[in-house]
Structures are given as C-alpha cells and as structure tokens.
Structure 1
Amino acid sequence: MHVTTRSLPTVLAAAALTVVLAGCGATGDGSGGASPDSATAGALPAAPKDNALAAMVPASVASDGKLVFGTDASYPPNEFTAQDGTTIIGMDVDLGTAVAQKLGLTPEFQNSAFSGIIPGIEGARYELGMSSFTVNDERVQTVDMVSYFSAGTSLAVKAGNPDAITADNLCGRGVGVQAGTVQVDDIAARSKACTDAGKAAIQVTELQQQTDVTLALTSNRIAAMLADSPVASYAVTTTSGAVEVIGEPWDTAPYGIILGKNQGQFAQAVQGALQSLMADGTYKTILEKWNVSNGAITTSEISS
C-alpha cells in the first residue's frame, strides 16, 4: 500500500506469532462478509525444484531446508489467516510457497506486524519478507527487493456510492487507511490540500489491520477507505456486495519480495524462481485463483 502499497516500517514490532504454512482451506478475512469458496479451493501442484537456482541459495539459508518468510497476515487477498485462525493463506503465500519449492526448500510463514518485517530481515529473523511491499528507493537503501506484482491505490465506498464520493471530494469526510501504509501519506496529503483550500480536513481513521478498515466501512463508521488495488477489489467480493471501488487505481508500482543485502546470489535465485513460475504458467494460475490477474507483470526485476 503506498504509492501503491505498504510503506517503510519505522518501529520494530512486538513478538511475532510463528505460523507454519498449512494447506489451503476456507478463509476468514475479518471483513464482515463470507469469502468466496473458489478463492481457496484445492491445493496447487508443487512447483518442481530447479537445481541450478537452488545452488544459488546461500548455505546459511538452505542448511535447515526451510525458507522463512515474514508477513503481516491481515491483508486479504494477499496474506491473511484462514478460518482456523492460524493458517496463513493468500496470493503472496501461494507465490512464496512456489518460490520456495523452486529453490528446493520448505516455506514457513511467520505472522508479524507489518512494521516488524524489514527489521526482522535485517536482524536475520526472517530470510524473506513477502507482505505487499511496494518497491521504492527508501526501502532499497536497506534491503534488496525482487518484483513480482503491480498494484495501485484504490478508493472504496459503500455500495451504490450514496454520497457520490470520488478521490477529489474527500474533504470533510471520514476515510479509513491501514497504519504503516502509503495510503497514510496519501490521505495526509489530500487532507492538507483540503485545508490549504479553506475546506474541512479529511477525518482520517487509521487502524492497525486492513480487515478492521474494511469492517469500519461496512459498519458505516467511515464513508470511504483507501487501500491497495487488489485489497480493495477483494473487499468487494467478500462483503456481500456492501462495498464498491470508485474509479481507477493511481500511483501504480510493483510489489517486491524483501531480502537482506550482501547475500551472494540469493536475490538472483529468487528472481529466477519467479521468472520460471511466470514461464511455466504457475504464476498465472495463482493470480487467477485470487482474482488479481490485472496486477500481473511479465518480468521480475531486482532492485538493490
């Protein structure tokens, strides 16, 4: 979320809950609506190991046979918990799992506050971070990023848009955003533009989890929300028609997998795994499963 996705963390999160990836099941996204059964029906075939790519993974990562991801599982459909309350599922999880399989490793997803993931990478708690991070220059100063998806910021409102809300008339209205995302900066800039023009400031509601923001919208506690485009689109499908997206996404930018700097060919291994998944159709299948195909990219790139 940010330019189009989540923004740079500034504080270390509290202790993260460790969750080992299990098979997909019914989802529970906290949005107040039922998740579509098709979103998590059936397990995907395992991606075959690529020996050449696996050989590029540092021994410090590969020695235990696992690839440990940090993720904030509160951001459906990208990463969130199933109805069992522990299993982490989502588009990022499926892609991360396939990357791990290409590298001959078993994926393990650990649930963390979003702001704790990059510090967790720097502190070697996680080997990769995969949680809808937008690639930007600020992040690349401290970590490497491997692109895998493209998203923008979207505006979502109550179905039917009874207040005729657009991105250009938010002054004085209640708008929700998730803490730590670029939408926080976006709405702050919009509110300042309102007051600079002599209009009422936007009444910003900033909540820790995106699912709580969506619930605030469906409960009529806010008039609109800003979120990453796949998240806003998913909210439409999981709120029994209570939410709709207005207009087109803006500030589109790539998501990137986070990894620490100075790790030999690790970034190249991750990039190669993603490119292989794009070539063999696995990438397309995963995006179609979560109804986010409009965010597909054709080439994975490393930013370092």
Structure 2
Amino acid sequence: MARSCRSEHVRFDCLDHTMTRLRRRRARPFAGLAVAAVLALAGCGVGGDGSGGRDPAAGAGVAPGSDTPLPAVARDDALAARVPAAVRADGVLTVGVEPTYPPNEFTAPDGSTVVGMSVDLGTAVAAKLGLGVRYETGQFSGIIPGVQGGRYEAGMSSFTINPERSGVVDMVSYFSAGTSLVVAAGNPEGITPDDLCGRPVGVQAGTTQTEEVVGRDEACVGAGREPIRVTELLAQTDVTLALVANRVDAMLADSPVASYAVTQSRGTTEIVGRPYDTAPYGIVLPKDGELSDPVRAALQELIDDGTYRRILDRWNVGDGAITTSEVGR
C-alpha cells in the first residue's frame, strides 16, 4: 500500500497498521476517493491472545496511568445462579476484544495484557456473576460473528448499539459516547465544530467521524468556502500524534478517546465544548440468550453501588456514565 494518497480536497496518510475499525457507526467513503484500499486492512488480524484469566475479585490491580486500585466486586449469588450452565461450567467468561482503542480497550506495555475502561467494566460484571474473565483478541469486524458462532461468550469493544447490530445480537448498554473536537491548548485558532472549512483536520479511518467530516466538507464546498483538509489515519494514536505535532489543527474522535488523549498529552491539547451526537456502547451477547438479563442486572448493580463510576473515573471518562443499563434487542 502506498504510504500517502492525495486527492483534490482530501489527503490520506496511510500508515502500516493492522486494523481499521468501524466504531460508533459505519462511515461512508469520501466521494470519488479510493478509500477501499485503506479499509481493506480490516482483513488483517490483530495477533496474540488476551490477558488470560482474571481473578473474579478483580480488586488488586492498578490501571496504567491511574493511581486508583480497581474496586473489589462481591459475587451476587442470585445473579450467579441465572448464568447459563454452559457459561458456568468453566467459571470463566470468554470476551472478544480488539485492543487498539485507548482508553476503552488496548494492550498494556507488556504487549499481552488487555486493559482499559471496557475491560475493567467487563471484569467487574463477570465478578458480580461469580465468573473470571478471559479476553481474546481479534478483528473488530469478527467479534459479533464470533459471538454468534460461539467462539466468544460476549464481545466488549466499543460497539455502538444500533438497529443493525441489535437485530442479530443482544447488546447491554454500558456507556454513552459522542464526538469531541480536540485542538491545541488554548485553542489559538478559535476552532469550533461548525468552523472547520479550510482547516487541516485529523480523523481515524472507518469511524463515524470520517462520515461526519464528509458531510461538513460537502457543506463547506456547497457554501462556496474552502474544503476541509482531511488527514485520515488508520490508528487513533497517530491522529493524536498528528495534532500534537501540528500537522493538523484539530481532530475529531469518540469522546472517551478524546478525553484520554488530552490527559496523555500533558497540557498540550484540549477539548472544545461538550461531546455531541451521543449514542450508547453495548456489551455484545448471543441473540435472545439467557446471559443478557444477568449481565444487565450485574451492570446495574455496579452502577447503583458506585463501582461503575469509580471505574470510569480511573480512565477520565466519567462524562460518559449512564444511570440505567438496558438490553437492546
């Protein structure tokens, strides 16, 4: 694949990464551009295994970048009794994850342990059900089929709940994510989401922000203004680096990803305004299966007793907290 691809209005920097992901919604391609070459990388897998088994107590670890230990979670015997026998048999919940999306789910510096907000929540839910948890890594696009086919007992990888997905699997809501605009600290250019015409803006390939920037670019051109100069990269971490290196003036990203990026940038970037276009993430479970209701009830207990919010706060994503978990069917 070429390292860079150019078009009249849109610039791509196509780096050698193994995955693109369709996160919050499937993005439509830029009109007239050969983005299929970029998205074709979705056929390449993320190698390696997950973190292996995790202790159901889940109380001793410390998250990377956090000084706050994971809260201990007590088993709920009534909920544990509702877990299907096939899942209880080995005492471990097998969860599919694509760990390249910090702070939600990503790989720790040891190169094998899967960590993140979604991972901590999944571990806590499993503990509430009296289970350990094993995270198995794979392609984002293969996780829902993996749950359908029985390879995974659940999937937890920042899947937005939408009718297409909830038509084939159950999805238990656990977080509300929107889009955030990130700029250099102090916003020296005075950038807002509605004033991106003519500006260099970074987005990650395959995300809903790619679709959004297409619409905004069309509006700019239709109004006789300069088109948005888009840099589309395969990894969100590279989009963030492009902003820090002043290769772009702004980036659009999922709100928890943006919040984490700002935290890690050590004061060099900031978020403009509040997240917009919000939608819930969901834990993926077999369609109409017996595990969905116990998982929802376990998550609701974590919300009610404060454990859920403490986990979100460890990753600086408390703004995405929900108050009620529901099963999308």
TM-score (norm 2): 0.80
Work out the CA distance in 2 between the residues paired with 1:221 and 1:291.
26
Report the alpha carbon displacement of residue 18 of structure 1 after superposing the two structures with TM: 1.3
Change over 3 Å in CA distance of 1:199–1:241 after alignment to 2: same
| Gap regions ≥5 residues in structure 2 | 1-22, 28-38, 55-59
Q: Which residue of 1 aligns with 2:45?
A: 14
> Is the contact between residue 177 and residue 280 of structure 2 (CA under 8 Å) also seen in structure 1?
yes
Instruction: Look up the match of 1:273.
Output: 298
SS of the equivalent of 1:250 reads strand
RMSD (Å), alpha carbons = 2.3
In 2, Cα distance between the equivalents of 1:255 and 1:236?
Answer: 21
**1:238 aligns to 2:257 (yes or no):** no
- Give the whole-Å Cα distance in 2 for the aligned partners of 1:93 and 1:146: 15
CA 1:292–1:15 in structure 2 vs 1: closer, same or farther (change >3 Å)? closer
TM-score by length of 1: 0.86
Q: Is the 8 A contact 2:63 2:314 kept in 1?
A: no
Structure-2 separation of matches of 1:116 and 1:172:
37
The partner residue of 1:293 within 296, 299, 318 is 318
> Aligned to 1:211, what secondary structure does the other structure show?
helix
8 Å contact kept, 2:300–2:324: yes
Question: Could you tell me how far 1:15 is from its partner in structure 2?
Answer: 5.4
Question: Aligned residue for 2:126?
Answer: 100
Structure 1 residue matching 2:173: 3-state secondary structure: strand
Aligned CA distance change for structure 1 residues 13 and 267 (closer, same or farther; 3 Å): farther
Of residues 141, 145, 152 in structure 2, which corresponds to 1:115?
141
Deviations 1:107-128 (A, max 9, x none): 1122333333223222322221
Residue 163 in 1 paired to residue 189 in 2?
yes
Kept after mapping to 2: 8 A contact 1:128/1:259: yes
Q: Distance in 1 between matches of 2:44 and 2:283?
A: 19
Question: Contact between 1:13 and 1:112, CA under 8 Å: does it hold in 2?
Answer: no
Instruction: Tell me by how many angstroms 1:60 deviates.
Output: 3.0
User: Are the counterparts in 2 of residues 154 and 228 from structure 1 also a CA contact under 8 Å?
Assistant: yes
Residues 272 and 12 of structure 1, relative CA distance in 2, 3 Å threshold: farther
Rounded Cα–Cα distance in structure 2 between residues aligned with 1:160 and 1:12: 40
- CA 204–58 in structure 1, closer or farther in 2 if over 3 Å, else same: farther
Q: Compare CA radii of gyration and give the structure with the larger one.
A: 2
* Larger RCO, structure (CA 8 Å, separation 6 or more): 1
Q: In structure 1, what is the Cα distance between the partners aligned to 2:63 and 2:172?
A: 30
**What letter matches 2:105 in structure 1?**
E
Q: How far is the alpha carbon of 1:211 from its aligned partner?
A: 1.5
Which stretch shifts more, 93-102 or 220-229? Answer: 220-229
- Structure 1 counterpart of 2:318, which letter? S
Q: 1:197 to 1:292 in 2, by over 3 A?
A: same
Written as runs of structure 1 = structure 2, the 5 A alignment for 1:1-304 is: 6-8=24-26, 14=45, 16-20=47-51, 24=61, 27=64, 37=65, 39=66, 41=67, 43-263=69-289, 265-304=290-329
C-alpha distance in structure 2 between counterparts of 1:223 and 1:177, whole Å: 11
Structure 1 residue matching 2:142: 3-state secondary structure: helix
**What number of residue pairs does the alignment pair up?**
288
Moved over 4 A (4+): 8-13, 21-26
